[in-house]
Amino acid sequence: MKIGFIGGGQMAQAMISGILNTNSEQVINIHGGSIRTEKYAHAHGLNYVESNKQVALESDVVILACLPQHLTAVAAEIKSVLTTQVIISVLGGVTLATLSTALGDNVAISRVLPNTPVNVNAGTIAYIHNEPLLAQSESANQVDTLLQQLGSSYLVSEDQFSIFSALAGSSPAFIDLFIDAMAQAGVKYGLPKDQAIAIVTQTMLGTALQVQASNQTPRELAAAVASPGGSTIAGFLAMEEYGLPTAVVKGIDATIAKDQAVD
Ligand SMILES: NC(=O)C1=CN([C@@H]2O[C@H](COP(=O)(O)OP(=O)(O)OC[C@H]3O[C@@H](n4cnc5c(N)ncnc54)[C@H](OP(=O)(O)O)[C@@H]3O)[C@@H](O)[C@H]2O)C=CC1
Ligand SMILES: O=C(O)[C@@H]1CCC=N1
């Protein structure tokens, strides 16, 4: 299967890492908006081609990884050469209906919302295929297999994409913010920053595995950490008093509102 990327930014690079981790021989065609993508392609042994149209012509699966505001221009470039190619769009907030209008009603399209951990094949990925893609079961299976290589994929109805995008697509940024804040506290009390980050990150991995393996809720697991009269409950209540849970929900509200304003 020949894979092409339109756009070579953060998400394209994360997906390309994940794809090459699985199959280092995979040929990847790519074009971008500027010299940046060309330099990235050459540095990583990708096949940089002269135009988005050329990506579409030379690929079986074309991954739209530019920004939503580039869709109209990119669609105008590639529409005339779309025949049997499958389009995977990772454009945040852009619906299948908008993609079909831009690219053609009969084009096979999968709307996908990955997150940056796809670069270590640990992504959390939403997807939904349009009718033309569902009608080609072999192509749909190829897309499913590609996504499974990149992490855990979930078939999600389009009305749930915004909440999925906030909880999985954007949340690596929020989780990084939390890791950094914890590590800053470590620095405040004398730890080197890299050591503090390593401690917090390992704890986060362990806690996530524990939540996955347990039939207790996160609240119940937290209660098990907070010994009566101990240090944890003091810190826990201070975090609640300073608004951590409310801040998180407000952050998700803002993320969803912005995503829903895209299309
Ligand atoms: N970052 C993330 O975690 C996630 C991103 N997404 C989606 O991925 C898409 C890309 O986001 P992200 O990678 O963060 O953004 P970036 O700004 O990092 O990447 C955007 C890319 O678009 C390219 N581009 C600009 N104009 C054109 C054009 N006319 N033709 C082809 N390529 C063009 C740019 O090329 P150049 O650099 O050469 O100028 C750049 O590589 C967005 O639609 C976003 O919603 C979805 C889920 C998560
Ligand atoms: O910030 C964005 O718009 C994209 C969508 C989800 C994550 N990044």
- Predicted local confidence at residue 8, as pLDDT: 98
CB of 170 within 6 A of ligand 2: the answer is: yes
Say if CB 39 and CB 64 are below 8 A apart: no
Q: Which domains does the chain have, with CATH numbers?
A: 3-156 (3.40.50.720), 164-260 (1.10.3730.10)
| Range list of H helices, the chain | 10-22, 35-43, 52-58, 71-78, 96-103, 131-134, 137-150, 161-164, 171-188, 193-213, 218-225, 231-241, 244-260
Using DSSP, state whether 168 is helix, strand or coil: helix
Which of 64, 112, 162, 170 most suits a substitution to test ligand 2, by most atoms within 8 Å of the C-beta?
170
At 263 the pLDDT is 86
Closest ligand (CA of 10): 1
Render pLDDT for 64-87 as a digit per residue (tens, 0 to 9): 999 999 999 999 999 999 999 999
| Ligand 1 atom closest to 32 (CA) | 32
Cα dihedral 229, 232, 236, 242 sign: positive
Q: Please indicate whether residue 93, judged by its CB atom, sits closer than 6 Å to ligand 2.
A: no
Distance 234 CA to ligand 1 centre (A): 43
Low-confidence ranges of the chain (pLDDT < 50): none
Ligand 1 contacts CB of residue 70 (under 6 A): yes
In this structure, the number of other CB atoms found within 10 A of the CB of residue 50 comes to 9
Give dist(CA 239, CA 233) in Å, integer.
10
Ligand 1 pocket check: which of 5, 6, 11 to mutate, most ligand atoms within 8 Å of Cβ?
Answer: 11
Q: How far is the CA of 238 from the centre of ligand 1 (A)?
A: 39
Contact 129, 143 (CB under 8 A): yes
CA–CA separation, 261 and 263 (whole Å): 6
